Amino acid sequence: MSRIIDATIVHNEKYTTVAVYVKFLRFIIWSVVKGNPNDCEDVKIKFTPNKLKTPQKLRDNFFGGFIMNRIQEIDNKPKTSEKEQEIIVKEVLKNEEEFWNSDVGKSLINDYEKSKAIQ
């Protein structure tokens, strides 16, 4: 998920809980705009006092369920065509070192290393 930008409005079947989800490369914004989410006091942004509690725990089944479903949706999307893959490879090879040092490159390396560890 670190390689995509994504956004949507999320709701349950009865629309009693509605949230906004925005995903940039390195962070996620999640805001419940209607309803009462589970206890997520640890992750609320507070501007005073300036203390960040760590580690943070997210105890919100609504958000967790959404994230798991979103990951599955992304994994099941059609892959790029061979022509598109050739264009991507050509662009990467123009400056391969810069690519591998970029956020996307680092994310790909991280995914590869994690997949090797699982096997």
What's this model's pTM, rounded to 2 decimal places? 0.61
Question: Is residue 63 packed enough to be buried (19+ CB in 10 Å), middle (13-18) or exposed (0-12)?
Answer: buried
DSSP designation for 49: S
State how many domains the chain has.
2
* Counts of helices then strands in the chain (DSSP H, E): 4, 3
Count of Cβ atoms closer than 10 Å to residue 62 Cβ: 19
Q: What is the mean pLDDT of residues 105-113?
A: 86
Task: For residues 41 and 67, state if they share a domain.
Answer: yes
pLDDT in tens, 41-99: 666 666 667 676 777 666 677 888 888 888 888 888 888 899 999 999 999 999 999 99
Question: Is residue 108 packed enough to be buried (19+ CB in 10 Å), middle (13-18) or exposed (0-12)?
Answer: middle
Percent of the chain with pLDDT over 90: 26
Task: For residues 27 and 48, state if they share a domain.
Answer: yes
pLDDT in tens, 26-45: 788 888 889 876 656 666 66
Q: Can you give the residue range of the structural domain that contains 111?
A: 82-118
- Residues 12, 18, 19, CA angle at the centre, nearest 5°? 120
Q: Phi then psi for 4, rounded to 5 degrees? A: -125, 160
| pLDDT class of 1 with cuts at 50, 70, 90 | low
Predicted local distance difference test score (pLDDT) of residue 40: 61
Task: For residues 89 and 51, state if they share a domain.
Answer: no
Task: For residues 63 and 10, state if they share a domain.
Answer: yes
